[in-house]
């Protein structure tokens, strides 16, 4: 009898100081028998090295729209089709705006536009950015389209402020992702 297929989680990482938490999210998801397919924006690679996620996920890390494998099929479409869930942790205000407005100018936003998998976002940003009317309008629009948000939480922020904008802890994000995967379909 054939073993059941592991769920595929495309893990998008954006340019936030909270990007380092993606390593622990990856480790915990792999431990839970999830196939993690990491995708990093260019800005994310300034906070976390792709080799870290590659080593933890045991999968290549996609960092560019033209990171094509030896195939006729574009990588962003292949990943969009493979995804059982698209998790973006952390997601910045910039990427939330791109997602809300259908922009696809990098590999991560192209995957998000092409996939039919559930979208889960873990915001991380300055409290003023989180509270800005544009960010809140984008949040509402994304939620109306079915995106699920995990956080943000209130606490001390890397910028020195205190308030809402801190990314939820990796264990909280992983627990919610596992619940979403369990109840999919």
**How does strand 153-156 pair with strand 162-166?**
antiparallel
Cα separation, 6 vs 9, whole angstroms: 9
The beta-strand segments (E) located in the chain are 8-13, 35-40, 85-91, 119-123, 148-149, 153-156, 162-166
**Is 133 among the residues known to form the active site?**
no
Cα separation, 171 vs 149, whole angstroms: 15
Dihedral sign, Cα of residue 8, residue 175, residue 170, residue 29: negative
Q: How far is CA 42 from the centre of its chain?
A: 14
Please report where in the chains the tokens 């494998």 appear, as a residue: 69
> Which position among 32, 103, 141, 159 bears the catalytic label?
159
For 48, list phi and psi in degrees, rounded to 5: -145, 135
> Which residues have a catalytic role annotated?
159
């Amino acid at each position: 009898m054939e073993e059941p297929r592991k769920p595929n989680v495309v893990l998008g990482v954006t340019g936030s100081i909270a990007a380092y938490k993606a390593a622990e999210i990856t480790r915990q998801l792999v431990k839970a028998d999830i196939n993690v397919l990491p995708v990093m924006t260019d800005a994310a690679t300034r906070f976390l090295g792709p080799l870290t996620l590659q080593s933890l996920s045991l999968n290549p890390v996609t960092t560019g729209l033209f990171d094509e494998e030896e195939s006729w099929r574009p990588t962003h479409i292949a990943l969009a089709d493979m995804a059982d869930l698209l998790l973006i942790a952390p997601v910045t205000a910039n990427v939330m705006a791109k997602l809300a407005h259908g922009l696809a100018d990098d590999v991560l936003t192209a995957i998000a536009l092409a996939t039919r998998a559930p979208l889960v976002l873990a915001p991380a940003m300055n409290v003023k950015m989180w509270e800005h009317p544009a960010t809140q309008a984008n949040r509402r629009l994304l939620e109306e389209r079915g995106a699920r948000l995990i956080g943000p939480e209130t606490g001390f922020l890397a910028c020195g402020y205190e308030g809402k904008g801190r990314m939820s802890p990796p264990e909280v994000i992983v627990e919610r992702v596992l619940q979403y995967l369990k109840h999919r379909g």
